[in-house]
């Protein structure tokens, strides 16, 4: 056996041992990784996966006092998609989505563009003030606005009484839509503004300098450079707003007690499912309503992401 052959065999042996040692190290790291992730997986399964599976199983049964509990398959889903109360609630939240999402996006985008052009202490203070509504719990914010909307105790009553006029009925059936749009826009625009502002700050300043050298003014820089370059963030915001609007629940529930006759138990699909479960003990059908809403949210989200795949970077 030549010296070259011995050297080659030794190199192969060392390479094999190094590869074996590397594989052992990788497996050891994977075990430690799973060990650290296990607590989260246990909590995730116990408080999300299992409840969802249990609720889905309930939606496949029907319970009555006369016949007891029977397996009915998708009968509850067929009933849900032909239920005028559920379909009416879906139509209502879709209308809210058409109005609220552009309103929130415009407010957040305008605020972020203005703050991005400022470099003084006023910019930091303004960001904080605009973000504050999002930091307030939704229930507390809705209760606060219920007081502001009150025709007897709110500030509008005081202001209109000065000139001898009656305060507008913000919580009347014909104006509750605009009142809820105002609350949600006030609550969420600050959060979306922070997301857009962070995206704007990630743009290379040299691009703005080049635009100024080419003679672009502030409006042209905002519309032709800034907004197109943050399109993926805008898609993400619209996605979040769409999902949140279709699950509209907290604000109308809080205002329902003070807006007598303007908001009923089936005002939104989530409110309808809640009422069925905890007011009429129809847990099976309520589960089907909840999953039907989830199906529609998933379909709507999927088609939106498909249509905006270029802007979001998914393509």
Q: Where are the domains of the chain?
A: 3-59, 75-312
Could you tell me where the beta strands, DSSP code E, fall in 22-80?
61-64, 68-71
pLDDT of residue 312: 61
At 186, list the tokens.
Answer: 């006030």
Give the confidence band of 2 by pLDDT, cuts at 50, 70, 90.
Answer: low
Beta-carbon count within 10 A of 180 CB: 24
Whether residue 147 contacts residue 217, with contact meaning beta carbons closer than 8 Å, is answered with no
* Residue 293 vs residue 69, higher pLDDT: 293
Please give the Cα distance from 155 to 146 (Å, whole number): 11
Minimum mean pLDDT range among 124-128, 271-275, 292-296: 124-128
DSSP sequence for 195-239: HHHHHHHTS-HHHHHHHHHTT--HHHHIIIIIHHHTHHHHHHHHH
At 160, list the tokens.
Answer: 């209109």
Please give the Cα distance from 53 to 71 (Å, whole number): 16
Give the CATH architecture of domain 75-312.
Orthogonal Bundle (1.10)
Mean pLDDT of 202-220: 85
Please give the Cα distance from 308 to 100 (Å, whole number): 19
pLDDT of residue 46: 92
Please give the Cα distance from 307 to 238 (Å, whole number): 13
Percent of all residues in the chain with a pLDDT value above 70, rounded to a whole number: 91
pTM of the predicted model as reported, rounded to 2 decimal places = 0.82
Whether residue 181 contacts residue 102, with contact meaning beta carbons closer than 8 Å, is answered with no
Q: How distant is the alpha carbon of residue 135 from its chain centre? A: 15
Percent of all residues in the chain with a pLDDT value above 90, rounded to a whole number: 41
Please give the Cα distance from 198 to 190 (Å, whole number): 12
Whether residue 72 contacts residue 61, with contact meaning beta carbons closer than 8 Å, is answered with yes
Q: What is the pLDDT of residues 71-105, one digit of tens each?
A: 888 999 999 999 999 999 999 999 999 999 999 99
At 4, list the tokens.
Answer: 């070259």
pLDDT of residue 9: 47
Whether residue 264 contacts residue 55, with contact meaning beta carbons closer than 8 Å, is answered with no
In SS3 terms, 143-181 reads as HHHHHHHCCCCCHHHHHHHHCCCCCCCCCCCCCHHHHHH
């Amino acid at each position: 056996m030549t010296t070259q052959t011995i050297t080659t065999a030794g190199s192969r042996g060392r390479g094999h041992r190094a590869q074996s040692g590397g594989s052992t190290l990788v497996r050891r790291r994977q075990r430690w990784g799973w060990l650290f992730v296990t607590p989260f997986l246990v909590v995730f399964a116990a408080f999300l996966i299992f409840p969802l599976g249990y609720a889905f199983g309930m939606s496949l049964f029907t319970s009555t006092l006369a016949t007891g509990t029977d397996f009915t398959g998708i009968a509850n889903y067929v009933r849900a998609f032909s239920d005028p109360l559920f379909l009416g609630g879906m139509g209502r939240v879709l209308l809210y989505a058409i109005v609220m999402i552009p309103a929130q996006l415009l407010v957040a985008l305008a605020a972020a563009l203005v703050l991005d052009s400022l470099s003084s202490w006023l910019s930091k203070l303004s960001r904080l003030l605009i973000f504050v509504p999002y930091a307030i719990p939704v229930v507390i914010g809705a209760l606060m606005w219920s007081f502001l909307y009150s025709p007897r105790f709110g500030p509008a009553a005081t202001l209109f009484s000065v000139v001898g006029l009656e305060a507008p009925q913000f919580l009347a059936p014909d104006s509750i839509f605009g009142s809820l749009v105002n609350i949600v826009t006030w609550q969420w625009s600050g959060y979306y503004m922070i997301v857009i502002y962070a995206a704007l700050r990630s743009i290379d300043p040299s691009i703005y300098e080049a635009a100024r050298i080419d003679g672009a003014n502030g409006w042209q820089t905002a519309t032709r450079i800034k907004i197109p370059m943050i399109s993926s963030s805008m898609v993400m915001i619209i996605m979040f707003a769409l999902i949140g609007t279709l699950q509209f629940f907290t604000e109308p529930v809080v205002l329902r007690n003070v807006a007598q006759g303007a908001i009923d138990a089936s005002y939104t699909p989530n409110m309808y499912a809640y009422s069925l479960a905890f007011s009429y003990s129809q847990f099976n059908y309520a589960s089907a309503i909840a999953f039907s809403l989830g199906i529609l949210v998933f379909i709507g989200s999927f088609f939106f992401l498909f249509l905006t795949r270029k802007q979001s970077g998914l393509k």
